[in-house]
Structure 1
Amino acid sequence: MKHPLLDRLATITVVLLFLLAYVPLVLLSFHNHPSPADDYCFADTTLRYGFWQAQKYYYDGWTGRYFSNMLVHGSPLVWGWYDGYRFIPVLVVTALLLALYGLVNELIRTESLKTRLIATATLFFLFILAMQSTVEAFFWMAAIATYTVPTILTLCLLRVISRWYQLPSGPIKPLTVVWASFLVFAGIGSGETNLILLLLLLLAIAGYRLLFLRTFDPFLAWLVVVAFVSAWLLFRAPGNAIRMGGNPHSGELITSMVSSFGWLGRWLATWLVKTPILPLSVLFLPIARRLVRSGSAVRELFMLPAGLVTLVYIGILAATIFPSYYGIGIPPFARTMNVLFIFFALGWFYVLTVWVGWFERRGKMSTAQIGSVALLAVAGVWIAGSIWFSLSIKQLYKDWLSGNAATFDREMTERHERLTQPADTLRLGPISVYPPSLFIEDIKPEQKHWWNRCHSGYYHHKVIILDSTLTASTLR
């Protein structure tokens, strides 16, 4: 954008959009608490049986997610640091932002620092704008470990792979191999969604270099081996069979594939309309043209068969949905959709750049310029409309500005203090507000419910009951 005033206006707008998304997450982070759903169960299991025995217990009895199991069984509750949960969301949000910047910085390293920062801030805003569930992305540790953490690891891995071919010879290369291997091992061991995504990405990159460039790449070949071994470790877990056995519609291959593509088509159309990705794509075209022009240091990253890349892109997105249908026979949860949108948006701009390169090489790229003022006006209106219809943005600000998050924080703190007091049977009143940005589910009126038993075990009570006739501050 050549006009200095318009350029300054665009920069200020991006900064404001980034703050619009980032600030409420940081502020709400310090109202966060351990979730009665699962968090106490992981902690109680570790304290009862020990850290490594807890891993075996879940691996054999419920899930093969060996790395995310390690994270949740080493939570702040295990160390008696109840307030540690107040720092988890802001750390995870910031880690996602830094991982995103690392990848963007590598892919468009020929652009100015300002452009790289603007691109990162814009993508982050898009992610938060389109999120189906912020609580499952940043506030609920069980979902963080299984979905957000492996997403961060995948972004880091893509940066490492992109950077690998520019590394000088020396000790840095073998150390990078170790680091990349860990990222694959940990990412796949965190959950099936990122397992499929990572495995297919590695196979696609390695397959392209082997079949199209006639190059056997030992680095990628090794990562593929690590990925298959890691996937085997996850799928061989006895707990997976137990978990899938409880779902009568799991294991239906053809139905799951058809459902995955159908679900993807529906959401692609939704995102193209309800997010400003289309006007932002038009604004991105000048950057894309610079990335693929002759002499660009990153040109080779985008000089790929455009049609093939598009098919692989759609296939990987559909495959990300597939585990939900195949494993439990239902559409993906909101936490899966969070991950799906992140890679949809990143892949969208990557595929767009590949197509720009394809048109440029054939001299079919128009040199006509859309008026900057008109384009910014359209983008501004579209962004404003997207914010208005964004459930995640509105919910974050509603929970914060209404005081619901503060009330929830105060009452949960009071509940924790009462739970630390000795008693055989403890009756607790429900919390008066449950902010959707912060909370999944509470303990139940049934004293034998799993979450109640985990609570009573962790706090050394015989029975804990949620009594709806009591207030949040009542204990008897």
Structure 2
Amino acid sequence: MALTSRMSSRLPYLALVLLTGAAVAPFLLLSYYNHPFMDDYYNAANVRTTGLWAQQIELYLRWTGRFSSSLLVTAANPIIYGWYEGFRWTPALTLLATLGTLYLGLRTLSQQRLPRAQAALAAAIFLLFYLHMIPEPYSAIYWFTGSIVYHVAGLALLLVFIASERARWATQTWQRRRWQAGAAICAVMAAAANEMTLLHLLLGLALVLGVKGYRRQWPQMRWWSTLLLLTLVVAVVTVVAPGNYVRMQFEGYAKEQGRANLVRQVLTAVPGVPGAMARLLVRRGLALKLVLPTLLWLPTILHWQRRGWLGTSIRLPWAWGAFFMLASYALSMLLFLGVMRQMPPDRAINGLLLFLFPTALLVIWAALAQRPAAVAWQLPAWLWRWGPVVYVGVFSLLGIPRRAWQELLLSAPAYDQQLLAREAQLRAAWSQGVEHVVVKPILGVKPYRVLITEWELTTEPGHYINSETALYFDVKSIVIDKQLIPQANPGFHYY
């Protein structure tokens, strides 16, 4: 009887683990069918022509000041080294890095009181809701260049605060120095990856520094002041890059070159920020998608509080955290409206949510951690045990895990075979003296907008997707065969 009772009490937890594992699995397995795309080819072609370090200088002077992401999208690009199969590994590594960062964050915030198994399970569920929330999982995880510039940069941002907290309560000097060095490296990576992550890092460091000063925690203030100063130095190097202004004029974001004109352009965008914030929340049901994980997070965090797992790492009044989150959101939107004069693209929204989503959950964590005693209210035992299982199960059936499985089983193998045949045709074109290549569209494949999206080569040889791909394969032009487009799924954009 005792054994039967113990098994039945653990059954909901085991069911939740199996459901979550089955929901995460297709995203990892889809990595096997991943291929280079657009800027992946372009960056590799430029490095092949100019060399790795010369390309960094060229990018800084004529394209962007994002020197850390510029280095990674070139130096870590697998096809630069002839490792074409490397693109089958990079998405899986990105997903595992995300899970590892979330796990480390939960364990750190709880001061290692939260059991490892529960931290790992919570990290996997967080990842599922994040993938469901963002408008385009492809550019966050599977597209190498987009993943480096926004998603990996976002992970580095989270690691700045995680490593700093680990350093604070490290018992040995060498451990503290190691974590501090990691935090400093991640700060440089995050600040120099893209302007939005830089903004979030500056705001986050300023908030923490202000809290430490308010509480007169002088030793900790020295560390946070050092990180903030380092980030400001990186910000100056990034913002003053000549390439920023060359690119803005090239892409039509700025009518006139010059920092004064840019400041004026940003200020004129201020009145439009509240409306843009509201539109983004309405866009694709984002407000509802933010509510879904919160409904699961509230009882979870209450349960952890009663178990004594919250720790005291963050004891911030919820109003402070909410104001910080709102200010960060507003300034992010101002950045895009003022500089790009448009709503943020999907890949930037991915990075924005990687910061705002955990921040919203941390506000709840901090509000409960600040309370001197656990909240007395609790769910009925049966609802607490089986509620998360049903919730994650229904979400997996109706949300993005279902689409991921459909894409994995129904579309990905045929998609992979056709891309392999296309790439073989393009590699053979140069040796055969073919300068203008006509390739088939993807046939018999439906995009489910996980790995396989609407983005494809087009029928226009001058389109940037076509020209960047042609540059890598040493041909003058690449186009999609117009006559075969009616046979392709309308979900692809062939123009």
Q: TM-score, normalised by structure 2?
A: 0.84
Residue pair 1:14, 1:122 contacting (<8 A) in 2 also: no
Partner Cα separation in structure 1 for residue 15 and residue 475 of structure 2: 53
Residue pair 2:270, 2:334 contacting (<8 A) in 1 also: no
- 1:236-289, CA deviations, whole angstroms, 9 ceiling, x for partnerless residues? 12222233341369634413532454346547632244x242133123202134
Give the AA of the match of 2:25. Answer: V
Partner Cα separation in structure 2 for residue 280 and residue 26 of structure 1: 24
- 1:343-366, CA deviations, whole angstroms, 9 ceiling, x for partnerless residues? 3442233221222244x33x7x65
Partner Cα separation in structure 2 for residue 89 and residue 453 of structure 1: 25
1:247 aligned to 2:250?
Answer: no
Residue 302 of structure 1: aligned partner: 314
Residue 287 of structure 2: aligned partner: 269
Residue 466 of structure 2: aligned partner: 452
- 1:147-189, CA deviations, whole angstroms, 9 ceiling, x for partnerless residues? 1111221222221111111123534434433322111001111
SS in 1 for 2:79: coil
- 1:429-456, CA deviations, whole angstroms, 9 ceiling, x for partnerless residues? 2222363322453333233333333333
Residue 400 of structure 1: aligned partner: 408
Residue 262 of structure 2: aligned partner: none
Show the 5 A alignment for 1:407-418: 407-418=414-425
Residue pair 1:129, 1:387 contacting (<8 A) in 2 also: no
> Mean Cα displacement is larger for which, 137-146 or 365-374?
365-374
Give the AA of the match of 1:371. Answer: P
Partner Cα separation in structure 2 for residue 453 and residue 219 of structure 1: 47
For the aligned residues, what is the CA RMSD?
2.7
Partner Cα separation in structure 2 for residue 372 and residue 340 of structure 1: 37
Identity %: 23
Distance 1:290 1:46, change over 3 A: same
Give the AA of the match of 2:438. Answer: R
SS in 2 for 1:288: helix
Give the AA of the match of 2:180. Answer: V
Give the AA of the match of 2:278. Answer: G
What is the CA-CA distance between 1:146 and the residue it aligns to?
A: 0.8
Distance 1:7 1:117, change over 3 A: farther
Residue 184 of structure 2: aligned partner: 181
Give the AA of the match of 2:144. Answer: M
Show the 5 A alignment for 1:95-134: 95-108=97-110, 109-134=112-137
Partner Cα separation in structure 2 for residue 340 and residue 44 of structure 1: 30
Distance 1:369 1:462, change over 3 A: closer
What is the CA-CA distance between 1:27 and the residue it aligns to?
A: 1.2
Residue pair 2:297, 2:361 contacting (<8 A) in 1 also: no
Residue 152 of structure 2: aligned partner: 149
Residue pair 2:315, 2:367 contacting (<8 A) in 1 also: no
Residue 218 of structure 1: aligned partner: 222
Partner Cα separation in structure 2 for residue 256 and residue 181 of structure 1: 35
Partner Cα separation in structure 2 for residue 17 and residue 333 of structure 1: 32
What is the CA-CA distance between 1:215 and the residue it aligns to?
A: 2.2
Show the 5 A alignment for 1:326-341: 326-341=338-353
Partner Cα separation in structure 2 for residue 57 and residue 11 of structure 1: 54
1:135 corresponds to which of 126, 134, 138: 138
Give the AA of the match of 2:150. Answer: Y
Residue 438 of structure 1: aligned partner: 451
1:237 aligned to 2:237?
Answer: no
> Mean Cα displacement is larger for which, 160-169 or 241-250?
241-250
What is the CA-CA distance between 1:77 and the residue it aligns to?
A: 1.5
Partner Cα separation in structure 2 for residue 61 and residue 21 of structure 1: 43
Residue 304 of structure 2: aligned partner: 287
Partner Cα separation in structure 1 for residue 166 and residue 72 of structure 2: 28
SS in 2 for 1:30: helix
Residue 336 of structure 2: aligned partner: 324
Partner Cα separation in structure 1 for residue 188 and residue 117 of structure 2: 34
Residue 491 of structure 2: aligned partner: none
Partner Cα separation in structure 2 for residue 312 and residue 408 of structure 1: 44
Q: Which structure has greater helix proportion?
A: 2
Give the AA of the match of 2:360. Answer: W
Please, which runs of 5 or more residues in structure 2 have no aligned partner? 256-264, 488-495
Residue 490 of structure 2: aligned partner: none
Partner Cα separation in structure 2 for residue 20 and residue 321 of structure 1: 36
Residue 50 of structure 2: aligned partner: 49
Partner Cα separation in structure 2 for residue 321 and residue 8 of structure 1: 45
- 1:25-67, CA deviations, whole angstroms, 9 ceiling, x for partnerless residues? 12111111111x2211111111111112222222222222111
What is the CA-CA distance between 1:373 and the residue it aligns to?
A: 1.7
Show the 5 A alignment for 1:364-403: 366-376=375-385, 379-390=388-399, 392-402=400-410
Residue 72 of structure 2: aligned partner: 71
> Mean Cα displacement is larger for which, 249-258 or 438-447?
249-258
Residue 424 of structure 1: aligned partner: 434
Partner Cα separation in structure 2 for residue 201 and residue 178 of structure 1: 18
SS in 2 for 1:354: helix
Partner Cα separation in structure 2 for residue 376 and residue 164 of structure 1: 36
Residue 171 of structure 2: aligned partner: 168
Give the AA of the match of 1:399. Answer: E
